[in-house]
Structure 1
Amino acid sequence: MLKQIEGSLGVAEAVALCRPEIICAYPISPQTHIVENLGAMVKKGTLQDCEFINVESEFAAMSVAIGGSVAGGRAYTATASQGLLYMAEAVYNASGLGLPIVMTVASRAIGAPINIWNDHSDSLSQRDCGWIQLFAEDNQEAVDLHIQAFKIAEELSLPVMVCMDGFVLTHAFERMDIPSQEQVDQFLPPYDPRQSLDPENPVSIGAMVGPEAFTEVRYLAHAHHLQAFAAIQKASDEFREIVGRKSGGLIDLYRPEDAEVMVIAMGSVIGTIKDVIDEMRADGKKIGLLSVKSYRPFPAAEVADALKGVKTAVVIDRALQVGIGGVVTDDVIRATRKMSDLDICGVIAGLGGGAITKHSLHQIFDMALKKDLPELYFLDLDKKVVEDQLKHEQEERHSGPMAEAIVKAVADLHKGEL
């Protein structure tokens, strides 16, 4: 059914169609509207046979989801930013125990300094936690990925994060096609957990594992992620057959034919990049786009295959490994380490909600086509502001709060533009 609704409500409706039995909720922007809408559905009775549990923290939210999943229930929660970090111990526990929990991460920057706007710092900080991570390009895909996530999670007995850009998607009103309950029931079978506690057949779940078996246990998690490649693609294909729409999968290519430069990106910036590529293609410039849909497991073989014959890969990274560079850039480098004729340029862009404009993308893509783009580039960075601050810190021992000094310098710089 076509609806013009907020992204958060679209996701809430998609989750409700999956018939969850436990929803654990703790508010943190920008995911709050999702669980608020789900809570309203439970209260009104439109979402039945589901226990909506308000908890005292994000750590408690994941802990309750673990308990509900171990007890044999289909469990869901949502979080963002510092909330994801606060539940990190339990996040690792959920994957280590092999529990098919689904969680929305409404991606947002991590402080300090405090910043509530969108980038991928939170979700990518948990890239090694053992969860499958799927990234949505737009709200329609966010709806579809949540439905696919439950199937993937339950087939593999692994937890799945669906990462959607905070505010940019969660709070945007746009047209979405919400599948019918009949379509979702056809796609997603009733919950049949691989493991659950049963008083009639008592077992231990989460007991201590010593050094004699820990490597094997961790390798099992790795093996499950290798199995996830097929499960993710299968879920995407089956969803398309039932609903009639392509979404999800491992990667997606846009205008890759004869591309000399291939842009690699995840999330909502993909729409803007497609517009820029269309404009550049109209001018005869050979450029294409590789969208990463599954970040964990990372589809290294598919990425390497898509980059054959390409001269330069430009990776748009919305998270920074301080002192090294882009997060996704490292995954691309690893995936293509045998391709000696490929140049890889990492572009740090849109941190803390910074605008990624068509004008700036045109500039860096043109630089890449001319082989002028450096290995690491910070989009629209005002280096003078930073250099002035570094100089001030060298000259003045008691130089004061760093972030506030940068904010003031930027404000002073742009006074004349207001």
Structure 2
Amino acid sequence: MLKQIEGSRAVAETIAMCRPEVVCAYPITPQTHIVEALGEMVKSGKLTGCEFINVESEFAAMSVSIGASATGARAYTATASQGVLFMSEAIYNASGLGLPIVMTVANRAIGAPINILNDYSDAMSQRDSGWMQWFAETNQEALDLHIQAFRLAEELSLPVMVCMDGFILTHAYEQVDLPTQQQVDAYLPSYEPRQSLDPREPVSIGAMVGPEAFMEVRYLAHAKHMQALERIPQLAAEFKQVFGRDTGGLMHTYRAEDAETIVVSMGSVLGTIKDTVDEMRDDGHQIGVLGITSFRPFPLHSVRAALHKARRVVVLEKSLAVGIGGILSTDVRIAMSGLNVPNYTVVAGLGGRAITRKSLHNLFRKVEQGLLEPLTFLDLDWNVVNKQLARERSVRRSGPVAENILRDIGTVASKIP
């Protein structure tokens, strides 16, 4: 059913149709509207058979999700930014215990400095936690990925993090095709846990494991991710049969078949990149796009196959590995090992900075002309940066960086567009 709806509400209504039995909620911008909507549905009776639990922190939200999942309940929660960090220990426990929890991360920058807008530093901080991580380009893809997330999580007994851009998607009103309950039920079977705590058949979950077995346990988590690489495309194909649309999968290409330059990215910025590519194609530039949906597990072989004919590859990412540069680009570089194709890392959009078609046009023309540095920070104000570096060289008590820069640019508090 086509409906004009906020992204968060669309996800909440889709989660409800997945029939969760426990929803753990702690509010943090910009995911709050999702759990608020689920709470309303539980209270009104629209969502039955579900216990909505208000907790005192993000750590508690994941801890309660672990307890619920361990007893055989279909569990869901959502968080963002500092909330991801606060529950980090429990995030690792959930995957280490092999519990099929589904969590929405409404991607938001991590402080300090404080910032409530979108980039991927929160999800990237947990990229090695053992959770599967999927990134949605649109609100339609976000709600579709959640349905597939429950299916795969429960099949493999492994948690899934569905990432959608904070504010850009979560608070955007657009038309989506909401599924029917019958469609969701046809695709997502009733939950049959691979493991559960039952007093009639007592077992231990979370045993102490020493060096004699720890590596084997960790390897088996990796093996499940390798299984997921095979199952994700299959589940996406089954999804299309039931719902009638392509969605999810490991990755997708756009105008890449004959492209000399291929731009790799994730999330909502892919829409802006595609618009820019269309404009450049009209001007005769052979440029295309590779959008990554599954960041974990990372589809090395599929990425390699998509990029092996390119003359140059640009990875545009909304995250920064301080001291080295790219995160997504590091994985892409591994996939391209031995191809001898020049590749470039472009860090963009940190803290919600706009990524415009004008900036992308300039960027892509530079790479075609061989003028792009291996690591580039899109639209970085070097005057501001160099002024602060000069200040630190000349004055020992140079003061806090963030406050100095805000003063240099003439504002006392950050402006939200």
The answer for the alignment partner of 2:254 in structure 1 is 254
TM-score in terms of structure 2 length: 0.98
The answer for the alignment partner of 1:407 in structure 2 is 406
The answer for the alignment partner of 1:391 in structure 2 is 390
Q: CA deviation at 1:222?
A: 0.6
Paired letter, 1:365: F
Q: CA deviation at 1:41?
A: 0.2
TM-score in terms of structure 1 length: 0.98
Structure 2 counterparts to residues 119-198 of structure 1, below 5 A: 119-198=119-198
Partners of 1:334 and 1:257 in 2: how far apart? 21
The C-alpha deviation readout for 1:385-407, integer Å capped at 9, x for no partner, is 11111110111111111111112
Indicate yes or no: 2:290 matched with 1:290. yes
Structure 2 counterparts to residues 207-356 of structure 1, below 5 A: 207-340=207-340, 342-356=341-355
Q: CA deviation at 1:336?
A: 0.8
The answer for the alignment partner of 2:8 in structure 1 is 8
Partners of 2:236 and 2:115 in 1: how far apart? 34
The C-alpha deviation readout for 1:311-368, integer Å capped at 9, x for no partner, is 111001100011100110101111111212x011000000000000000000111111
Q: Is the 8 A contact 1:39 1:52 kept in 2?
A: yes
The answer for the alignment partner of 2:49 in structure 1 is 49
Partners of 2:146 and 2:210 in 1: how far apart? 36
Partners of 1:338 and 1:166 in 2: how far apart? 37
Q: CA deviation at 1:136?
A: 0.2
Runs of 4 or more, structure 1, over 2 Å off, are none
Paired letter, 1:400: G
The answer for the alignment partner of 1:373 in structure 2 is 372
Paired letter, 1:192: E
Paired letter, 2:350: L
Cα RMSD for the two superposed structures = 0.7
Q: CA deviation at 1:275?
A: 0.3
Paired letter, 1:235: L
The C-alpha deviation readout for 1:18-50, integer Å capped at 9, x for no partner, is 000000000000000000000000000000000
Unaligned residue ranges in structure 2 (runs of 5+): 412-417
The C-alpha deviation readout for 1:66-102, integer Å capped at 9, x for no partner, is 0000001000000000000000000000000000000
Partners of 2:143 and 2:175 in 1: how far apart? 11
The C-alpha deviation readout for 1:112-159, integer Å capped at 9, x for no partner, is 000000000000110000000010001000010011100010011000
Partners of 1:338 and 1:152 in 2: how far apart? 33
Q: Percent identity?
A: 64
Find the residue that maps to 1:321 and give its secondary structure.
coil
Find the residue that maps to 1:398 and give its secondary structure.
coil
Find the residue that maps to 2:409 and give its secondary structure.
helix
Partners of 1:209 and 1:257 in 2: how far apart? 49
Find the residue that maps to 2:263 and give its secondary structure.
strand
The answer for the alignment partner of 2:415 in structure 1 is none
Q: Is the 8 A contact 2:308 2:336 kept in 1?
A: no
Paired letter, 2:386: E
Q: Is the 8 A contact 2:11 2:143 kept in 1?
A: yes
Partners of 2:338 and 2:286 in 1: how far apart? 23
Paired letter, 1:138: T
The answer for the alignment partner of 1:415 in structure 2 is none
Q: CA deviation at 1:411?
A: 2.8
Structure 2 counterparts to residues 9-28 of structure 1, below 5 A: 9-28=9-28
Partners of 2:180 and 2:230 in 1: how far apart? 26
Partners of 2:122 and 2:40 in 1: how far apart? 27
Find the residue that maps to 1:76 and give its secondary structure.
strand
Partners of 1:411 and 1:332 in 2: how far apart? 39
Q: Is the 8 A contact 1:155 1:231 kept in 2?
A: no
The C-alpha deviation readout for 1:166-196, integer Å capped at 9, x for no partner, is 0000000000110000000000000001000
* Greater mean alpha carbon deviation, residues 28-37 or residues 394-403: 394-403
Q: Is the 8 A contact 1:11 1:142 kept in 2?
A: yes
Paired letter, 1:268: S
Q: CA deviation at 1:410?
A: 2.3
Partners of 2:8 and 2:390 in 1: how far apart? 45
Find the residue that maps to 1:326 and give its secondary structure.
coil
Partners of 2:230 and 2:22 in 1: how far apart? 28
